[in-house]
Amino acid sequence: MKARQTLAVIQAKSGKFKEAIQNNTVLVEIQRMKLGNEDESTITTRMNLAGALLAQKLYDPALREFQTVYDIRKKRVGEDHPDTIIAESWIGMCLSDQNRLAEALPVLRDVWERRKRVLGKAHRRTLVAGFNLAVSEMNSGNREEAKRIVTALYEFALEAYGPADSQTQMYQQAIEKVK
């Protein structure tokens, strides 16, 4: 199982997503039978499978996998666990990639708010979650909300990492683009 999982990861990293999907699909079934649906290895493989599906723009199956992982993680470790939030973030991004912004925005807002609460407002993952939300807000035509979010991100990053930080500079540039 370990060798197949390593192979699938290498395939995905090298852009061989169809092969990664095949190996991850087989591996998920083996792991579910031998380890159970809620085993950490099974969950990790499902996330890898979902990522490869998303890379191939197979949105519905990717969304189902991300949702399954989210549901399992929420049940096992709670909705505020960082791994649960990661799965929910992928749900939001998958919806956003499909331009299903009315569905994506509440999910991405929830992810950003929970990451601020759990990890802190200036944690790198929190900043990325805020930026994903801002991009989706911009894509949905909510320019003022996108500007408000990016400005907050800039202020959080500036305070925590300083003006020379690449993320701080990226948010400063994003403010100019949103104007």
CA distance 81 to 121: 16
> What b/e sequence results for 135-154 when a residue is b if at least 16 CB atoms lie within 10 Å of its CB, and e otherwise?
bbbbebebeebbbebbbbbb
Q: Which CATH superfamily is domain 97-179 in?
A: Tetratricopeptide repeat domain (1.25.40.10)
The first and second tokens of residue 40, run together, are 């950490």
Q: Are 84 and 99 in contact (CB under 8 A)?
A: no
Q: In which element (H, E) is residue 39 found? A: none
Mean pLDDT value across the chain: 95
Question: What is the reported pLDDT for 143?
Answer: 95
How sure is the predictor about 164, in pLDDT bands with cuts at 50, 70 and 90? very high
What's the average model confidence in pLDDT over 34-53? 96
**Res 131: pLDDT:** 97
Predicted TM-score (pTM) of the model is 0.91
Q: Where are the domains of the chain?
A: 1-59, 97-179
Is the pLDDT score of 179 beyond 90? Answer: no
Q: Give the pLDDT of residue 3.
A: 87
pLDDT tens per residue across span 74-99: 999 999 999 999 999 999 999 999 99
pLDDT (0 to 100) of residue 77: 95
Tens of pLDDT, residues 125-144: 999 999 999 999 999 999 99
Amino acid at 55: A
Give the pLDDT confidence of 15-36 residue by residue, as tens digits: 999 999 999 999 999 999 999 9
What local confidence, expressed as pLDDT, does residue 178 receive? 86
What pLDDT sits at residue 1?
Answer: 83
